[in-house]
């Protein structure tokens, strides 16, 4: 299978800041590949290098078999790039934006309409409206339509779901899944760990370094300890008490429970009594599988 992206030891510095450090990964054809990490991890810098908009200081970035630093002319007509900040023309209408992007890439909306019809149909009723007057979810659909209109082989989506409500986010991910049948490879970045599960493979990224690359399932299975969810009415008191318990390894708040690992890998018989003596009644303890975010936390501890 042809590799759509091959990155070897890519590094990027801005002044004294090392934004990317020894970034190596490969993306396969037709894959949905996610970069999951917080703001400032280096996702946008990496995506700009892939989209031929920034040059790396070190290493080699090959995209669609071409070197991103020298092959940019050819690459740009084969990449669809959706930057994190809404970058369409706010004072052009929906339809005008789409026509503009099609024309810039030497094609027409009609020619590739089947590719975008599923996405564009949501906003077509408002095609006369100025892009600046659309809601977040609508802007996102228009931006995706514009990034797709020249039928790129690689789609580069930088935080497409940031600031968009849960309904639009879920619609967006199902649209990406439907693009598989057109053989388009997709790389997508997000700070939201739960979105990792929608990707075929993901790279966890933090402080300019890749922490782990694998399928979401394998990343979860990489969690090295047994994980317990502990619940009580007063979560704050529960965390403080758990941190006092001698056998506790880590205790982190996770939604309505506290995720806890133990030095002995099990809570031990004395835990319920201990919590009771700390004034925390009605505690429930259950073993649970680790999520992407649990694994991310564990990897962060190891590199700290």
Partner 1 sequence: MNDIVISVRNLVKKFGDFVANDNLSFEVYSGEIFGFLGANGAGKTTALRILSGLSSPTSGEVMVAGYDAKKEPEKIKKNIGYMCQKFSLYEDLTVKENTMLYGGIYGMSLPLIKKRTAELMEKLNFSDYENKLISDLPLGMKQKLAFSVAVLHEPKIVFLDEPTGGVDPVTRRQFWEMIYEAASRGITVFVTTHYMDEAEYCDRISIMSDGKIVALDTPANLKKQYNAETVEEVFIKIARPDSPPSPLKGG
Tell me the site size for partner 1, rule CB under 8 A.
45
Task: Tell me: does residue 224 bind partner 1 (CB under 8 A).
Answer: no
Contact string (CB under 8 A) for partner 1, positions 266-295, x = contact: ---------------------------x--
Binding residue for partner 1 (CB under 8 A) from 52, 185, 206, 261? 206
Binding residue for partner 1 (CB under 8 A) from 163, 273, 282, 289? 163
Contact string (CB under 8 A) for partner 1, positions 12-41, x = contact: -------------------------xxxxx
Task: Tell me: does residue 229 bind partner 1 (CB under 8 A).
Answer: no
CB-based contacts of 62, cutoff 8 Å, min separation 6: 3, 5, 6, 7, 8, 68
Q: How many residues belong to the chain?
A: 304
Q: Nearest distance from residue 47's CB to partner 1, in Å? A: 16
Whichever of 122 and 225 has its CB closer to partner 1, that residue is 122
Whichever of 185 and 206 has its CB closer to partner 1, that residue is 206
Q: Nearest distance from residue 259's CB to partner 1, in Å? A: 9
Q: Nearest distance from residue 150's CB to partner 1, in Å? A: 25
Task: Tell me: does residue 106 bind partner 1 (CB under 8 A).
Answer: no
Whichever of 1 and 16 has its CB closer to partner 1, that residue is 16
Task: Tell me: does residue 126 bind partner 1 (CB under 8 A).
Answer: yes
Task: Tell me: does residue 303 bind partner 1 (CB under 8 A).
Answer: no
Whichever of 71 and 84 has its CB closer to partner 1, that residue is 84
Whichever of 40 and 222 has its CB closer to partner 1, that residue is 40
Residues 131-160 that bind partner 1 (CB under 8 A): 133-138
Angle, to 10 degrees, between the axis of helix 113-120 and the axis of helix 166-178? 160
287 sits in the region (left: phi over 0; alpha: psi -120 to 50; else beta) called beta
Binding residue for partner 1 (CB under 8 A) from 186, 193, 210, 242? 193
Task: Tell me: does residue 236 bind partner 1 (CB under 8 A).
Answer: yes
Burial class (CB in 10 A: 0-12, 13-18, 19+), 114: exposed
Binding residue for partner 1 (CB under 8 A) from 11, 59, 191, 222? 191
Beta-ladder partners of 5? 27, 63
Whichever of 108 and 170 has its CB closer to partner 1, that residue is 170
Q: Which residues bind partner 1 (CB under 8 A)?
A: 37-41, 122-123, 125-126, 129, 133-138, 162-170, 191-194, 206, 234-237, 239, 252-256, 293, 296-297, 300-301
């Amino acid at each position: 299978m042809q590799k759509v992206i091959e990155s070897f030891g890519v590094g990027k510095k801005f002044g004294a800041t090392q934004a990317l450090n020894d970034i190596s990964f490969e993306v396969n054809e037709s894959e949905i590949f996610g970069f999951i990490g917080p703001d400032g991890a280096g996702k946008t810098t990496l995506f700009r290098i892939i989209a031929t908009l920034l040059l790396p200081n070190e290493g080699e970035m090959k995209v669609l078999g071409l070197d991103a630093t020298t092959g940019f002319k050819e690459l740009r007509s084969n990449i669809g790039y959706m930057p994190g900040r809404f970058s369409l023309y706010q004072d052009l209408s929906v339809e005008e934006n789409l026509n503009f992007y099609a024309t810039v890439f030497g094609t027409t909306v009609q020619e590739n309409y089947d590719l975008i019809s599923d996405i564009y149909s949501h906003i077509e009723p408002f095609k006369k409206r100025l892009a600046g007057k659309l809601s977040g979810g609508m802007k996102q659909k228009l931006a995706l339509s514009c990034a797709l209109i020249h039928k790129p082989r690689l789609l580069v989506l930088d935080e497409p779901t940031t600031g968009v409500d849960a309904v639009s986010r879920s619609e967006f991910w199902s649209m990406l899944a439907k693009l598989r049948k057109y053989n388009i490879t997709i790389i997508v970045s997000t700070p939201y760990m739960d979105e990792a599960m929608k990707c075929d493979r993901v790279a966890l990224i933090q402080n300019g370094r890749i922490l782990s690359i694998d399928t979401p399932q394998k990343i979860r299975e990489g969690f090295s300890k047994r994980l317990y969810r502990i619940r009580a009415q007063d979560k704050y008191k529960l965390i403080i008490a758990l941190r006092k318990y001698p056998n506790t390894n880590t205790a982190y708040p996770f939604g309505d429970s506290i995720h806890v690992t133990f030095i002995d890998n099990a809570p031990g018989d004395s835990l319920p009594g201990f919590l009771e003596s700390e004034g925390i009644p009605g505690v429930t303890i259950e073993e649970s599988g680790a999520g992407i975010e649990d694994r991310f936390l564990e990897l962060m501890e190891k590199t700290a």
